[in-house]
Structure 1
């Protein structure tokens, strides 16, 4: 492929720092691109009297694309005040770099994608196409009103009261040339990117004559795109529906001022300008720019959100003919902003600009993200607690065995709107959405219509399913009612899933990259059906990058203690891993899923910070670990077990018996291992569960003596379990250290 040149113009304010943070992603992608850096912006104006120097125009002229950081613009008075003194006498007219680029390169189209990057709520994906050269921003803005224009302005009674010097006038210029090319650009964008509709945002109920002409041009251009529906809506209605139902739009096209307002509203809809990329495309060039502006007050503070810069780079790559690379950048940003653990302040996080940029680059380095699932179980009886929701747990286990991690689970009642609201947020976000329950013949079985509503498809009768219902009921001598017909209704285009064990067939439907699997509620029916779908009925899913799990079970920590130690460790390691913690009395488990080549280093770091607390690197208790060690070395304990009142000895004996039964380990001798366990209560006692207990365990044998001490909350009767596990841990540590010393 021919190499392409990108002119990188970092600009000023936060422009340089967001581009510095985001540009390394291009090196990772290894594309045939040459980056050449140039100057633009406020410093160029202050020192040279031109925010776009001639040398920058030369660079732009020989480049295939321009990547712009952000530039500062100020009113004429402030601009002149900051100009170098030697330039003020012959002060040039200040014209912002953005305006210069648009005018000189004839960049007639501004493109602003709007997408639900943050997840949650209804998925949406649309874009605003703004005309850059005409409309109310055409520059036909007058004060005082010129003599040639005054006769028209004077028709308004307010104008006549003051005269030309006390009135202003602006003209909304729209030409067939300008209209046709922006409308054609909008339809081409819809066709190329799969947007399903073109909406013209105008004001036909007020600007009647000009809007009527715009509609004529729209209808003429639309004739060349018969597959794309189009509409004309009042711009204020478009603004309302962008906020209320953004999913209804595809491409919104508008004249300059209306498009300016709507495109910034789009930034607000998706969570802020920190997520808003843009492109300006024209007859003689282009530039791609994050929308957030230069924000000089934030410059150098490391708080700017780099997501818009990454998304802008993605738009540029697609324009240059690298759609796969563009998609990988887009997906990496989506992963990071939805995970929310390494994001900047505007998204509710504490990460710096470079921290968040590093997270995006790391997400892109993972060849594919692990497939995810959502599980939705349905029934008022589940919410009331009449039935245990075993389906959700069984489905999660089956999905995990297929390599699909369950990201979220919902339990909702028999309410159509609630079910649809539970399904919608996962469309386009999760690979698989399993919906279970509510497919019976009664009026409270509303899952079918809810799923169809979430998919935005009508219900259709499927005769094959109906005949299956009739055949099964007839075979067992059961009356077929009209209500049974609802069991043959499915979302349009869904693939049927026969139910060998009942009348409620399921279905599978693809939407926005997700597969929705709708199943009946009875476990004996739904679980075999789900197993069949997971085995044979799913499309090829992403293959997650290889990972290795580093696991440690700790005693003597609470979750907050563990997180305080481990989170810093992971951050400092620079490894793309999210720690997971599990509290199950008296243990805290720490799990790190990481790239295989980082596992040894991470394990060493983890052991260094948790050394005092690690019980085992396996899913076993301290008592279980001690039982294995005692049998391995042929030892028995001389145990003072009054503190646990025999619980420790009983549990240890049970585990040793179990190990011998499964492994054939020797029964052991009576080695000289003496163990003494004691406790001192502070603020409570054995029957009053307050305060703390300081535990002391002393282990002695022929090689030496070792004492461990630990203070634990005296939280309840279960504290005896803590005593036993602490004693086992102490003895196991003694044996391990003895073995290491002898080696």
Structure 2
């Protein structure tokens, strides 16, 4: 690969932070790019009287591309006041670095890609904005010039106000400017597979200038016959960008309209923290995340580096490193769709550095976990007329195939609700399983909802129709016209035959997500799901191998356990999310981690919470004690003043029958309690549980104070007694 030089201009505010976070991706991808840093921004205006020193222009001149962080601009009066005193006297005029770069390098095209990085209905389009003319051509007056007055004097408001109280701006469109921006738009569409170019203007009001723009559009479009084109009112484009962004390919507009639409595109994506940009011209270029310098965020570690990564991706593509640019976009897509290490503006809590590290990990092809979503459909499920057993069964089966369920939805027989549930996981989860609502009746609307979510029309599939007819005929059931609904599937879907019913299923691959549509009866859908999981997810990359560290604890509250575990996970530098489950009287701790970290994590966990650990298995203290007593052949006699015999009964239920074999030893246990502020019937205050075990001359004792919260404290006493005895037996063996 040919080596390239990039001028890096960090700029102001968060600019240096986001570039520092994103630029390591170039080394991570092993690209032959030399980075040379230069000076730009407010500090150089303040101390040197120019925000772009000559040395920076020299650097730009010898570079293949320019990467800009962000710059601060202020109005003229504030800019002058901020100058060093010795510079203020000559009153230099402040011109923003952005304007200087665009004018000096003749950067006529501003490119703003817009893509569905946060999931939902897939879309991928871009806004191409003309930078040099339109309403931003500089033809703007605080009062109408005398020579222009005859052109506006007949307007009633101008007649009333007079020339001295009337301002004016001219929207200038030229053949040169229109032709080169339109050709840029069509070339970009051709290079990136966009099927349509939309010119966003105002032909219903700006009739003459828009008509000329249409003429130029039609002439340029003739050179690109494979690409559709249209001219639409800019306000309609704004509406459809927000409502149906998937309909667009390349949107091209004059300067002011493009300025507005490009920021709207950032909003459609989820915020300017995701918005990259490129400015391309006859004599140079620069690439910039468009979130601005955001001085309030500077130094807080909260700035979102995603836009900087995507901007680097645009730069790499421009320099000819297309494959690497694709890796950056894929890495960003992975991080944003999972949202486990994203910054506050995307709903996360990661710092700039943590979010950047997750993108870099993805760029290095670090193996990742897969996730699934389950959508079960039916009004009867919402009304609890039927138990939603399918959701649990699907979750178990998916987890067994290393695709755990991230989220489950139960929705009614409502097309919009089904579409919303499915759409929210497209581009985010690897698999979406939709179950129910595929029958022949009018309330079976799942196929319509799924088609709406994936943006595909329904089509009749003769193979499925033949299957419906054959099954109904075989069982002597009349074939109704309504049964034809069961042969409708989203266009391009792969059919999944149903061996036990008439409702066939299907699968579709949409933006990295496989959507599986299955019937509702468990006898039909579960075998179909098993077949899909056996044969239909081979396309998923192998998940990252994990080891599970599990501890069941007693005598510690969930918040205290979580604080201790979260702290040790941070100390070990593990990027894992511990899971906590409180089920009286236990707190379970489960941590899935890289296998190489499991031993150290387990050791640290035992150091922190060993005094409260009952077992490393998903078993109760009674079950652990029963196993120990059986192994040693010990009989146990309990003097139980607390549980009313429940302790002995539960223990006996877990023990293996000894047959005629005599016990090798006998252990006596005393279980007592002391109340503070309440009693066995007055559930208030606390209760101190006391357990003493005797085996010959050996005595084992333990005590624990717990809230006397209700009758269930007896269950606590049962497990506490078993834990006390089991722990002492294990300690003696050790």
Which secondary structure state, in structure 2, belongs to the residue aligned with residue 204 of structure 1? coil
CA deviations over 1:507-527 (Å, ceiling 9, x no partner)? 222222322222221111111
Which secondary structure state, in structure 2, belongs to the residue aligned with residue 367 of structure 1? coil
State the Cα distance separating 1:61 from its structure 2 match.
2.3
Counterparts of 1:593 and 1:385, CA distance in 2: 34
Counterparts of 2:662 and 2:270, CA distance in 1: 65
| 8 A contact 1:376–1:422 mirrored in 2 | yes
Residue 113 of structure 2 aligns with which residue?
113
Which secondary structure state, in structure 2, belongs to the residue aligned with residue 629 of structure 1? helix
Stretch of structure 1 that moved more, 724-733 or 640-649: 640-649
Stretch of structure 1 that moved more, 539-548 or 253-262: 539-548
Question: Is 2:423 aligned against 1:428?
Answer: no
Within-5 A mapping of 1:94-493: 94-119=94-119, 122-340=121-339, 342-362=341-361, 364=363, 367-493=366-492
| 8 A contact 1:681–1:694 mirrored in 2 | yes
Residue 628 of structure 1 aligns with which residue?
627
Residue 697 of structure 1 aligns with which residue?
691
Query: Kindly tell me: are residues 249 and 683 of structure 1, through their superposed partners in 2, closer, same or farther at Cα, counting changes over 3 Å?
Result: farther
Residue 672 of structure 2 aligns with which residue?
678
CA deviations over 1:70-115 (Å, ceiling 9, x no partner)? 1111222222222233333434332211111112222222122233
Counterparts of 2:110 and 2:243, CA distance in 1: 24
Which secondary structure state, in structure 2, belongs to the residue aligned with residue 374 of structure 1? strand
Query: Kindly tell me: are residues 614 and 6 of structure 1, through their superposed partners in 2, closer, same or farther at Cα, counting changes over 3 Å?
Result: farther
Counterparts of 2:191 and 2:147, CA distance in 1: 45
Stretch of structure 1 that moved more, 514-523 or 715-724: 715-724
Residue 55 of structure 2 aligns with which residue?
55
CA deviations over 1:103-140 (Å, ceiling 9, x no partner)? 22222221222334334x54443322211111111112
Counterparts of 1:433 and 1:511, CA distance in 2: 10
State the Cα distance separating 1:332 from its structure 2 match.
4.2
Stretch of structure 1 that moved more, 716-725 or 159-168: 159-168
Q: Structure 1: where are the runs of 5+ without partners?
A: none
Counterparts of 2:502 and 2:342, CA distance in 1: 49
Question: Is 2:81 aligned against 1:87?
Answer: no
Which secondary structure state, in structure 2, belongs to the residue aligned with residue 298 of structure 1? coil
CA deviations over 1:373-402 (Å, ceiling 9, x no partner)? 222111222222222112122222222222
State the Cα distance separating 1:551 from its structure 2 match.
1.7
Counterparts of 1:516 and 1:176, CA distance in 2: 48
Counterparts of 1:200 and 1:451, CA distance in 2: 32
Question: Is 2:67 aligned against 1:73?
Answer: no
Question: Is 2:26 aligned against 1:26?
Answer: yes
| 8 A contact 1:200–1:232 mirrored in 2 | yes
Counterparts of 1:375 and 1:225, CA distance in 2: 44
Counterparts of 1:630 and 1:423, CA distance in 2: 52
Counterparts of 1:335 and 1:513, CA distance in 2: 10
| 8 A contact 1:631–1:668 mirrored in 2 | no
Residue 728 of structure 2 aligns with which residue?
734
State the Cα distance separating 1:194 from its structure 2 match.
3.9
State the Cα distance separating 1:10 from its structure 2 match.
1.0
Which secondary structure state, in structure 2, belongs to the residue aligned with residue 480 of structure 1? coil
Within-5 A mapping of 1:556-567: 556-567=555-566
| 8 A contact 2:337–2:427 mirrored in 1 | no
| 8 A contact 1:118–1:338 mirrored in 2 | yes
Query: Kindly tell me: are residues 536 and 357 of structure 1, through their superposed partners in 2, closer, same or farther at Cα, counting changes over 3 Å?
Result: closer
Residue 652 of structure 2 aligns with which residue?
653
Counterparts of 2:669 and 2:225, CA distance in 1: 86
Stretch of structure 1 that moved more, 710-719 or 47-56: 710-719
Which secondary structure state, in structure 1, belongs to the residue aligned with residue 313 of structure 2? helix
Q: How many residues align?
A: 733
Counterparts of 1:150 and 1:39, CA distance in 2: 44
Stretch of structure 1 that moved more, 702-711 or 572-581: 702-711
Question: Is 2:38 aligned against 1:38?
Answer: yes
State the Cα distance separating 1:690 from its structure 2 match.
4.1
Which secondary structure state, in structure 2, belongs to the residue aligned with residue 611 of structure 1? helix
Stretch of structure 1 that moved more, 412-421 or 533-542: 533-542
Which secondary structure state, in structure 2, belongs to the residue aligned with residue 375 of structure 1? strand
Question: Is 2:726 aligned against 1:710?
Answer: no
CA deviations over 1:634-657 (Å, ceiling 9, x no partner)? 544453333222222233333331
Q: Structure 2: where are the runs of 5+ without partners?
A: none
| 8 A contact 1:378–1:436 mirrored in 2 | yes
CA deviations over 1:416-470 (Å, ceiling 9, x no partner)? 2222222222222222222211222222222222222222222222222222222
Residue 599 of structure 1 aligns with which residue?
598
Residue 569 of structure 2 aligns with which residue?
570
State the Cα distance separating 1:363 from its structure 2 match.
5.1
Counterparts of 2:493 and 2:276, CA distance in 1: 36
Counterparts of 1:26 and 1:229, CA distance in 2: 36
Which secondary structure state, in structure 1, belongs to the residue aligned with residue 292 of structure 2? coil
CA deviations over 1:482-513 (Å, ceiling 9, x no partner)? 22222222222222222221222222222223
Which secondary structure state, in structure 1, belongs to the residue aligned with residue 390 of structure 2? helix
Query: Kindly tell me: are residues 690 and 709 of structure 1, through their superposed partners in 2, closer, same or farther at Cα, counting changes over 3 Å?
Result: same
Counterparts of 2:706 and 2:498, CA distance in 1: 54
Stretch of structure 1 that moved more, 301-310 or 411-420: 301-310
Counterparts of 2:350 and 2:488, CA distance in 1: 49
Query: Kindly tell me: are residues 566 and 517 of structure 1, through their superposed partners in 2, closer, same or farther at Cα, counting changes over 3 Å?
Result: same
Which secondary structure state, in structure 1, belongs to the residue aligned with residue 534 of structure 2? helix
State the Cα distance separating 1:706 from its structure 2 match.
4.8
| 8 A contact 2:580–2:587 mirrored in 1 | yes
| 8 A contact 1:370–1:542 mirrored in 2 | no
| 8 A contact 1:123–1:425 mirrored in 2 | no
| 8 A contact 1:109–1:132 mirrored in 2 | yes
Which secondary structure state, in structure 2, belongs to the residue aligned with residue 543 of structure 1? coil
Query: Kindly tell me: are residues 332 and 678 of structure 1, through their superposed partners in 2, closer, same or farther at Cα, counting changes over 3 Å?
Result: farther
Counterparts of 1:529 and 1:435, CA distance in 2: 12
Counterparts of 1:678 and 1:506, CA distance in 2: 61
Residue 4 of structure 2 aligns with which residue?
4
State the Cα distance separating 1:603 from its structure 2 match.
2.2
Which secondary structure state, in structure 1, belongs to the residue aligned with residue 68 of structure 2? strand
Residue 718 of structure 2 aligns with which residue?
724
Compute the TM-score of the two structures, normalised by the length of structure 1: 0.92
| 8 A contact 2:118–2:427 mirrored in 1 | no
| 8 A contact 1:363–1:576 mirrored in 2 | no
Counterparts of 2:699 and 2:325, CA distance in 1: 64
Counterparts of 2:577 and 2:323, CA distance in 1: 26
CA deviations over 1:244-295 (Å, ceiling 9, x no partner)? 3333333222111111112222223333322222222223322221211112
State the Cα distance separating 1:64 from its structure 2 match.
2.5
| 8 A contact 1:14–1:295 mirrored in 2 | yes
| 8 A contact 1:14–1:70 mirrored in 2 | yes
Query: Kindly tell me: are residues 495 and 268 of structure 1, through their superposed partners in 2, closer, same or farther at Cα, counting changes over 3 Å?
Result: closer
Which secondary structure state, in structure 1, belongs to the residue aligned with residue 424 of structure 2? helix
Counterparts of 1:123 and 1:425, CA distance in 2: 10
| 8 A contact 2:456–2:491 mirrored in 1 | yes
Counterparts of 2:647 and 2:30, CA distance in 1: 60
| 8 A contact 1:199–1:251 mirrored in 2 | yes
Residue 493 of structure 2 aligns with which residue?
494
Stretch of structure 1 that moved more, 296-305 or 155-164: 155-164
State the Cα distance separating 1:700 from its structure 2 match.
5.1
Counterparts of 1:373 and 1:667, CA distance in 2: 54
Residue 612 of structure 1 aligns with which residue?
611
Residue 669 of structure 1 aligns with which residue?
664
Question: Is 2:551 aligned against 1:552?
Answer: yes
